[in-house]
Structure 1
């Protein structure tokens, strides 16, 4: 298990620094790291073939809702793609969306998380109990980038993800 994990989402609007919480959501954090680094096997939703490299490289933030959230992690860019598998939820009853800039996995219902993730821009307690929170945006400049992405009229590219873990 990791003691600490940081990630940097390198985007067309700047970098987003994230602090992941492997102690609260170990399987989810490990899944994100594996997809970001290419160390976890995944299936390309476009071709059905085994994927190579970082899953998130070259994807876009396909959902952008100013004042609410941005969402990415879909190689199709539509919100309907995945890495070809699902993982179980790690929802903690005392961890919620009372604060903005929470990093969580998107899902289609219970235990259907895969590759898509979102970052909130405002408190969203109506999401409590439904999504695995596994990190948060680390600093003010990164929060500004998240806001810029949410306000973008077009999809914003996620060029690559850099992971630092110990």
Structure 2
């Protein structure tokens, strides 16, 4: 927000690593959350409803961006474009190609003792340190090798874990279309 934590993408740098702005934003999102409050995201997907606790207290940058983009409709109609069995289900790119950012990036929020030690952990996908944007993933099994490199900003509620098994597997490198892919119809944010 102050220009140091969130920052606009340098198009030259991000062009080199394969991230492109797609009808995105020219500046970082405004602050839309209160880190003192709790937030739940309800993902309405073609596989079923996934309820996720968001960790605004330990990952406020990631939660703020996710809540902002959810409220803006960024994720509406977006596919889980990369789904690897026992690893992750990744979404957040309106193009479905895994190469799009919202036009801004923000720093990693790691070192908080959280771990990708089970299925249902919500993390920010990135193209390297401090390149978080709109893409996120949900672990489909323990993936502790990701610890320290990716921001953890939520956890799927226990009653929604079975829905993760219904997300269609998809390799974006070999899939030629989105037939059968799981889609996010919309995301509702609940503030408590």
Specify the alignment match of 2:82 in structure 1.
Answer: 63
Pairing of 1:27-106 with structure 2 (within 5 A) = 27-38=61-72, 54-106=73-125
1:80-138 Cα distance to aligned partner (Å, 9 max, x none): 01111111111125111122210000000000000000000111110010000000001
Q: Does 1:9 align with 2:43?
A: yes
Tell me the SS of whatever aligns to 1:149. coil
Q: Give the distance between the partners of 1:32 and 1:92, measured in 2 at CA.
A: 20
Q: Which runs of 4+ in 1 moved over 6 A?
A: none
Specify the alignment match of 1:127 in structure 2.
Answer: 146
Going from structure 1 to structure 2, the CA distance change for 1:154 and 1:92 (only over 3 Å counts) comes to: farther
Contact 1:97-1:127 at 8 Å conserved across structures = yes
Going from structure 1 to structure 2, the CA distance change for 1:143 and 1:150 (only over 3 Å counts) comes to: farther
Specify the alignment match of 1:47 in structure 2.
Answer: none
Q: Does 1:159 align with 2:185?
A: yes
> Paired residue for 2:52, among 11, 18, 40?
18
Q: Give the distance between the partners of 2:180 and 2:125, measured in 1 at CA.
A: 21
In structure 1, the gaps of 5 or more residues are 39-53
> How many residues are treated as equivalent by the alignment?
150
Contact 2:82-2:169 at 8 Å conserved across structures = no
Tell me the SS of whatever aligns to 2:41. strand
Once the two structures are TM-superposed, the CA of residue 150 in structure 1 deviates from its matched residue by: 4.4
Once the two structures are TM-superposed, the CA of residue 154 in structure 1 deviates from its matched residue by: 3.4
Q: Give the distance between the partners of 1:136 and 1:150, measured in 2 at CA.
A: 20
Contact 1:69-1:150 at 8 Å conserved across structures = no
